[in-house]
Structure 1
Amino acid sequence: MPTLRIEHPIVDFTLWRRAFDSFAEARDTAGVLRHRVMRPIDDEHYVAVDLDFPTAEAAAAFERFLRTTVWADPQRSPALVGSQSTRIFETDDT
């Protein structure tokens, strides 16, 4: 199962979470099967998100949506600072 992993610094988790939650419908429409939000235990100003997709193509399309529509607009991503790191992983259960 392809997973889009996103990591980035934030200014405030509550503000970030509100913005993240506001895109629930977009995630559903894009085919996200499951998501996980993770925070380092030693850094309250950083977040990582795993988004599982049915195909790598769907993951790549959603990454483009994030870059062009969400992250490009500070009003849609008010808690972000710095740059985002993204990568698509494939699960290997062997």
Structure 2
Amino acid sequence: MIRMIVRHPVRDYELWREGYDAGRKMRDEMGVTADAVYRGAEDANDVTVTHDFDTLDAARTFAGSEFLKQKMQELGVSGPAMLWFVRRAS
């Protein structure tokens, strides 16, 4: 299992969250097997999202997709995203 972690600021969390939730079907179709959303403890518009995938290739395909780029822009991501991939250590 590969976990993709993305952190970015948004202009309006409530607007962002509504759009994020509306994208569930597309995320499922693109191989996301689980996800979670976190908000900054001091800044509610500081968002961290995790997406799980079966493979690193699937995670990279999702990360580079036009779907993701377009959604981030539409939903008010207001700064650069930090993105990284991890796997559980044994």
Common topology (TM > 0.5): yes
| Cα distance in 1 for residues equivalent to 2:37 and 2:64 | 20
Could you tell me how far 1:45 is from its partner in structure 2?
1.5
Question: 2: CA distance between counterparts of 1:89 and 1:73?
Answer: 23
TM-score, L = length of structure 2: 0.89
For 1:44, the equivalent position in structure 2 comes to 44
Does the C-alpha gap of structure 1 residues 43 and 81 become closer, same or farther in structure 2, counting only changes over 3 Å? same
CA RMSD in angstroms, aligned pairs only: 1.7
> What is the CA deviation profile of residues 4-51 of structure 1, one whole-angstrom value per residue up to 9, with x for unaligned ones?
111100111110001111211111001111001011111112100000
Which residue of 1 is the match for residue 2 of structure 2? 2
Equivalent residues of 1:70, 1:77 under 8 A apart:
no
| TM-score, length-scaled by structure 1 | 0.85
Matched length:
90
Q: Name the CA distance, whole Å, in 1 between partners of 2:87 and 2:15.
A: 30
Q: How does 1:13-92 map to 2 (within 5 A)?
A: 13-65=13-65, 68-72=66-70, 77-92=74-89
